[in-house]
Amino acid sequence: MRREARRLRGGGDRAVHVSADGTARRAQGRRCLCASGPELPVQRARDMLFEAGATVLLVSKGTGSDLRTGLTSIVVDREPPQLGVPPPKVRADAESPAYILFTSGSTGRPKGVSVPHRALLNYLRWCMSVYPVDDGEGAPLCTSISADMSITTLFVPLLCGKTVFLLPAGGGLEALEEALHSGRRYGFVKLTPSHLEGLRQLAGGRAPACATGCFIVGGEALHGETLEPWRAHMPGLLIVNEYGPTETTVGCCAHFLRAGDIRPGPVPIGRPIALTRLNVCNASGAPVPVGVVGELRIGGAGVALGYVGQAGLTAERFVRGPDGAPVYRSGDRARYRRDGTLEYLGRADNQIKLRGHRVEPDEVEAALRTHPAVAEAAVMLHRAGPGDDRLRAALLLSPGCDLDQADLTGTFRNHLRDKLPPFMIPSVFRVVEEIPLTANGKADRDRIARMLAAAAPRERRHVTPETALETLLVRCFCDVLKVPEAGATDDFFADLGGHSLLATRLVSQLRELLQIEIPLRRVFEARCARELSRAIVPDDSARQRLEAAAAIVLQVLEMSDTDVRQQLHQQGDGACV
């Protein structure tokens, strides 16, 4: 694979783009320079190809022809030609790009971070020296190759002579849970706090899945409450809270502790890894004292080369330190504690971390403004509950626009689907009378958040449930999604704004109410209450029993606690409701 890619790109550091599904040989693709997941819209992937200057495309058999146009393609899930021929010699120095990884961009387009071999090797050597790779068979890959978290799982086990276990494509949290219950012992599992929250919900109060002695957690802020089941059931489990922007190569600092020692609240991000400098600075770049909040600036061997094709943005974010070496301005607020560990305190700008993904609201807003009915837009994060973060969009419509306002969500989600990956599409759209501005001309997000909270949702035509099971499912949809009403044919994701963690919560609730096992993938396959009611139990006789149970559950849900106790008393001690 390396030989063929090098031959086709003519040597040198020209980029090779990887676009392969979860069953392709992902470890092979990482030798190349530019990666994206299959979930990206075609136009966005094309923009990334152009930005990176890619000349060769690594694809799986299922990759559509739209993406291949104008590029030389290599299909990775078939045997390459000329087996047994030695690979070509590759001349790459420490500053040659190892990969380009794209993240959401504040300018309205994604930005490609160019990471050199020097930075990647420094991170991997550190991982091999501190992570318990030998305490198991390897590690399961549970994140997309388009996220730099996957680098830890893809490379560290292989470099230590262990195995990388690829989970089934599209399996999501359920595939991860099954892997953790498989009986196999893993050296470590790298995952996000959202993964942990989903595993906690799937456990439903039981001992959670865990087939390893070490969880490496990254991608978003970690809170002790998320780890409560592991603290209670597995106090000796090693937890590593790893922090690091893409621009400083996966992880630049880490905090090590046992699950039994975790307390509620934010978990520190710890101390720098090898050959890394972390300074908390004021607006002029001078370090601040211990305990004082400032911007975290990161220097050392892990700093990336910059943003491909964006010299201005590179100069703004990658500055020179006192010794002349490059320093990355993270935009993250932090402070040093007296024990020498760092605390992460959020962003100094509007950037959002959503279920492990970086989201720049400006990019989502720019995509919304391409719709002819939108004059202006503002996007922000709304925390509906623990583990339930969602994007919400405020829309100022163009005068005289012809728009079906009864289905705003469907209209704008369809518009954004061809421009943005799924995690960047808001779950709620509201029309407002104005987009208020601050004194310096920027969107006043505090006022907009209040306006969104006060704005009534537009009337939507709902299909009435026809059976008790459909009615119960619609009720559960509303409860989990925190929406006032839904219909039997409303899509849990596209129409109602659901996501994978909320689907996990829905499955957990249905398991509790109906006492049946429902695979999580059923919610993704049968996305509305009507389809889900048929998919849960396809057998007619079993469905009749489930309909009867759903009717009883609905009756109980309508009863007060006093009524329930009275019914139990009348039925006797052995009653089951």
Task: Specify whether 338 is located in the same domain as 216.
Answer: yes
Question: At residue 227, does pLDDT exceed 50?
Answer: yes
Residues 153, 229: contact at Cβ < 8 Å?
no
Looking at per-residue pLDDT, the higher value among 88 and 141 belongs to 141
434 and 496 share a domain? no
Residues 145 and 253 in one domain: yes
Residue 61 included in any domain: no
SS3 (DSSP) at 279: strand
**pLDDT surpassing 90 at residue 174:** no
> Of the candidates 419, 454, 489, which is a domain's last residue?
454
Q: Which two tokens stand for residue 193?
A: 């706090």
CA distance 295 to 281: 5
Nearest-angstrom CA–CA distance, 188 and 161: 14
Which of 301-310, 522-531, 565-574 shows the lowest per-residue confidence on average (mean pLDDT)? 565-574
The whole-model pTM stands at 0.84
Task: Provide the pLDDT for residue 27.
Answer: 37
Q: Is the pLDDT of residue 474 over 80?
A: yes
- Assign residue 229 the CATH number of its domain: 3.40.50.12780
Handedness of CA 128, 131, 135, 137 (dihedral sign): negative
Residue 351 lies in a domain: no
Query: How high is the pLDDT of residue 16?
Result: 61
∠ CA 368-50-98, nearest 5°, is: 115
pLDDT tens digits for range 24-82: 433 333 334 555 555 678 888 888 888 888 888 887 776 655 676 677 888 877 755 56
| 487 plus 415 within the same structural domain | no
More reliable by pLDDT, 449 or 68 = 449
Q: Does the pLDDT value for residue 576 go beyond 50?
A: no
**Predicted local confidence at residue 62, as pLDDT:** 67
**Which residue would you say has higher pLDDT here, 204 or 423?**
423
Query: Residue 76: what pLDDT?
Result: 77
* Strand (E) or helix (H) holding 391: strand 388-397
In a domain, 7, yes or no: no
- Three-state SS at 179: helix
Query: Is 164 a residue whose pLDDT tops 90?
Result: yes
Look at strands 34-36 and 16-19 and give their pairing: parallel
Listed range (54-63, 206-215, 306-315, 555-564) with the worst mean pLDDT: 54-63
**Which of residues 454, 489, 514 is at a domain's end?**
454
Count how many domains the chain has. Answer: 3
Task: Characterise 136 by phi-psi region: left (phi > 0), alpha (psi -120 to 50), beta (else).
Answer: left
Do 161 and 237 belong together in one domain? yes
- Predicted pLDDT of residue 26: 38
Residue 457 has pLDDT above 80, yes or no: no
| Tokens encoding 21 | 């599904």
At 107-124, the pLDDT tens digits run 778 899 999 999 999 999
Instruction: Label residue 575 by pLDDT band (50, 70, 90).
Output: very low
CATH number at residue 420: 3.30.300.30
Asked if residue 11 has pLDDT above 70, the reply is: no
**What is the pLDDT, as a whole number, of residue 371?**
93
Do 279 and 188 fall within a single domain? Answer: yes
Would the pLDDT of 573 be above 60? no
The chain-wide mean pLDDT, for the chain, equals 86
In 31-116, DSSP assigns E strands to 34-36, 56-59, 72-75, 97-103, 111-116
Predicted confidence at residue 302, as pLDDT, reads 98
Looking at the structure, do residues 374 and 485 belong to the same domain, yes or no? no
Yes or no: say if 266 and 223 are a contact pair by the CB < 8 Å rule: yes
Bridge partners (DSSP) listed for residue 123: none
Residues 416 and 453 sit within 8 Å (Cβ to Cβ): no
Residues composing the chain? 577
Q: Last residue of a domain, which of 454, 488, 506?
A: 454
Within the chain, how many helices (H) and strands (E) appear?
Answer: 19, 24
| Cα–Cα distances in angstroms (integers) from residue 350 to residues 378, 380, 397, in the given order | 11, 8, 23
Is 231 a domain residue? Answer: yes
- Cα–Cα distances (Å) from 488 to 268, 429, 534, in that order, read 44, 21, 12
Residue 249 lies in a domain: yes
Query: Which pLDDT does position 482 carry in this prediction?
Result: 87
Contacting residues for 254 by C-beta, under 8 A, at least 6 apart? 130, 240, 241, 242, 243, 269, 270, 271, 273
Question: How far apart, in whole angstroms, are the C-alpha atoms of residue 53 and residue 563?
Answer: 69
Q: Is residue 199 part of a domain?
A: yes
Q: Which domain holds residue 499?
A: 468-571
The pLDDT of residue 2 is: 61
Average pLDDT, stretch 293-315? Answer: 96
Q: How confident is the model over 495-548, as pLDDT tens digits?
A: 888 888 899 999 999 989 998 888 888 999 999 999 999 998 877 778 889 999
pLDDT, average across residues 138-150: 90
Q: Identify whether 14 is part of a domain.
A: no
Task: Report the distance separating Cα 317 and Cα 330, nearest Å.
Answer: 7
Residues 337 and 376 in one domain: no
Same structural domain, 135 and 176: yes
- CATH number for 508: 1.10.1200.10
Residues 275, 143 share a domain: yes
- Tell me the per-residue pLDDT of 353-403, one tens digit each, with 9 for 90 and over: 888 888 999 999 999 999 999 999 999 998 877 667 889 999 999 987 777
Q: In terms of domains, do 292 and 181 share one? A: yes
- Statement to judge: residues 369 and 264 lie in one domain: no
Proportion of the chain in helix, strand, coil states, percent, rounded to 5: 35, 25, 40
Task: Read off the tokens for 188.
Answer: 């470590």
pLDDT band, very low/low/confident/very high, at 223 (cuts 50, 70, 90): very high
Residue 267 maps to a domain = yes
